[in-house]
Amino acid sequence: MILNQRSQTTADQGNDSPGWERDLINKLALASLKEQRRARRWGIFFKLAFLAYLLLIPVLYLPVDISAPHSAENHTALVEIQGVIVENSDAGADQVISGLRAAFEDENTKGVVMRINSPGGSPVQAGYIFDEIIRLRDKYPDIPLYAVITDICASGGYYVAAAADRIYADESSLVGSIGVLINSFGFVDAMEKIGIERRLHTAGKHKGLLDPFSPEKPEEVSHLQSVLDELHQQFVHVVKQGRGDRLQGGEEELFNGLIWSGKQAMGLGLVDALGSSGYVAREVIGAEEIVDFTWKRDYLERLTERLGAAMAGALSVRFGLESPNLR
């Protein structure tokens, strides 16, 4: 009887052993799974924190005040034209005109300063800006508009400046370049030397105009020159319209494409006087406070642009693609 009881106890212990091991394995598996989930959550947290850090960097460099410019006092309105005057750029017609309209429409604007630092650009975009300035001056005859040249105001930049009531510059500014150009290259002789034949098929006798791999045709050169001459005469007409009898010197001297220093340009009547935007606001307009009406990209556009530039810079450094710097 005792022997049978011991045998039964041993059998029961043997039957319980596999269940105990399974429980232990399940507990270990659950603990490991929880640890993996915890590690994954921390990984996601750190990734989000790093992303927030990347987003915060460009935000720190953005202006704190992103609202529309406003001043309760009489002020000088500033509109800047920086860079090449081409469509969809900060110096494009739509952008510049937007700033000019806002400046003239503000009831506390006593005068407008158009600060220009541009080597030129599209004659179409410059023409749009010129025409709008003339319209705004007619609509708001009591608000003067002055162009102030900083480093350079050449070609299309001067096209725009000519619409102002007066033009100011620094004595070292570069002014002028009243002309039109189209440039290209010719590879015909080089191709002949290395035995390359150009095969160009067109529908339209002159569709290959300006093709650098084909010989120039005299009639095409003549036609192209007529187009340039027409654009040049439009430019000359605009400058004469804006500057009038203030111009000193003959057409051959003024409109030959040369540039001059600000001091030289003043002697030719292309500039009225020397002075900065601060000088014009204080001494000419009589409203020392300057309010910037220059068109700016909205907050998200600037954030995206800065973030993209920051990431591109980081990648270029990471992969050794950075450009050499001249110091």
Active site residues: 155
Full DSSP string of 157-215: HHHHHTTSSEEEE-TT-EEE-----------HHHHHHTT-------SSTTTTTT-TTS-
User: 9-42: buried (b, 16+ CB within 10 Å) or exposed (e) per residue?
Assistant: eeeeeeeeeeeeeeeeeeeeeeeeeeeeeeeeee
| Angle between the N-to-C axes of helices 2-60 and 299-318, in degrees from 0 to 180, rounded to the nearest 10 | 110
Asked whether the beta carbons of 112 and 79 are under 8 A apart, the reply is yes
CB atoms within 10 A of CB 131: 14
